[in-house]
Amino acid sequence: MHTRISHALTVAALASVVALLAAQEAPKPKAEDTDVWEPVPPVITPGATNEDPPSDAIVLFDGKNLDEWVSAQDHTPAQWFVANGVMTVNKAPGVGNIETKRRFRDYQLHIEWKIPADITGSGQARGNSGVFLASTGPGDDGYELQVLDSYNNSTYVNGQAGAIYKQGIPLVNPARKPGEWQSYDVVWTAPTFNADGSLKTPAYATVFFNGVLVQNHFELQGQTLNVGKPFYKAYDTAPIKLQAHGDKSEPISFRNIWVRELK
Ligand code: MG
């Protein structure tokens, strides 16, 4: 019994000595130990406002032409309308969705859109369009950030404006009235895949809708399917696509679209 107690005391004493020595010998932390000087972040020039493209952005639409866009179906020149600095969906049969000529992986995107003041219809048939953050088609659904009139227009909440379609319900609804310009600022982290095509890391989307956070590093479950459970399908880089939805309401417009690739 005595032996055991004295042994325990010895162990305790040794432990305190070791702790004391460690405390004495460890160099005192200095603020500069955790200062990092390199690599230096590149200097860029911000836009005059937060809506204007900064100097390192790729401008996808500056109001003049659709040079950065093609038909999503056959990659022929995009046939949407351009007038007064704005592009508008062309709902003529056979025109359809348009997508960027360029392909992207991870990026920051700014895009502005407007529901016509004279919009008609209800639910999903009221100003339906979409920004496909990765257009992995043809034949795939891709990854859609919903565009819709969500100002006093009820629909399923995972399909309203600001939703990652059928997956991510927006945190709030900051929609403006039809006829007013609205904006999305998106950070897209593309999914990555193993050599055998299986998912390595999922896609994430952070979305500000009219400057308000509506998707906070939202983890996608796969492509944004209208029917069925989402699933991933391997891809590397993809265009950004805008939806010409076949609903009967007036076509919606876009302007001031720019992207910054994140390396
Ligand atoms: Mg849509």
**Is 68 in the same domain as 26?**
no
pLDDT bracket for residue 132 (50, 70, 90):
very high
- Are residues 16 and 104 both part of a single domain? no
Shared-domain flag, residues 75 and 200: yes
Q: In this structure, is residue 136 part of a structural domain?
A: yes
Does one domain contain both 21 and 97? no
pLDDT at 190 over 60: yes
Residue 213 covered by a domain: yes
User: Is 180 inside any structural domain?
Assistant: yes
193 has pLDDT over 50? yes
Q: In the prediction, which pLDDT does 235 show?
A: 96
pLDDT for position 247: 78
Q: Residues 108, 20: one domain?
A: no
How do residues 165-179 score in pLDDT, each as one tens digit?
Answer: 999 999 999 999 999
Question: Do both 7 and 74 map to the same domain?
Answer: no
- Tell me: do 12 and 83 sit in the same domain: no
What is the count of structural domains for the chain?
A: 2
Report how far residue 252's alpha carbon sits from residue 120's, in angstroms, rounded to the nearest whole number: 12
Distance 15 CA to ligand 1 centre (A): 66
Q: How far is the CA of 1 from the centre of ligand 1 (A)?
A: 78
**Ligand 1 mean position to 18 CA, how many Å?**
65
Mean pLDDT of 84-110: 96
- Do 97 and 206 have their domain in common? yes
Q: In what order do the strands lie in the sheet with 143-147?
A: 69-71, 98-100, 241-242, 129-134, 143-147
The more confidently predicted of residues 77 and 6 is 77
**Does residue 41 sit within a domain?**
no
The pLDDT of residue 9 is above 70: no
Cα 238 to ligand 1 centroid, rounded to whole Å: 18
pLDDT, tens digit (0-9, with 9 covering 90-100), for 26-67: 889 999 999 999 999 999 999 999 999 999 999 999 999 999
Q: Domain for residue 150, yes or no? A: yes
Span from the CA of 57 to the centroid of ligand 1 (angstroms): 26
- pTM (2 d.p.): 0.88
Give the distance (Å) from ligand 1 centre to CA of residue 65: 23
Is 39 contained in some domain? no
Question: Higher confidence at residue 137 or residue 170?
Answer: 170
Cα of 135 vs centre of ligand 1, distance in Å, is 13
Residues 23 and 78 occupy one common structural domain: no
Same domain as 92, residue 147: yes
Domain hosting residue 7, numbered range: 2-31
Are the CB atoms for 109 and 188 separated by under 8 Å?
yes
Find the 9 Cα to ligand 1 centroid distance in Å: 72
Query: For residue 237, how far is its CA from the centre of ligand 1 (angstroms)?
Result: 22
pLDDT-derived band at 137 (thresholds 50, 70, 90) equals: confident
Name residues whose C-beta falls within 8 Å of residue 243's C-beta, 6 or more positions apart in sequence.
97, 128, 129, 130, 131, 132, 144, 147
Residue 115 sits in the same domain as residue 26: no
Q: How far is the CA of 161 from the centre of ligand 1 (A)?
A: 9
For ligand 1, the distance from its centroid to the CA atom of residue 72, given in whole angstroms, is: 15
Query: Does residue 99 have a pLDDT over 70?
Result: yes
Mean model confidence pLDDT for the chain: 92
pLDDT of residue 1 exceeding 50, the answer is: no
- The answer on 147 and 245 residing in a single domain is yes
Over residues 229-233, mean pLDDT: 96
CA 154 to ligand 1 center in whole angstroms: 15
CATH code of the domain in which 214 resides: 2.60.120.560
pLDDT at 6 over 90: no
Q: Is residue 38 part of a domain?
A: no
Per-residue pLDDT at 110: 98
Question: Residue 185: inside a domain, yes or no?
Answer: yes
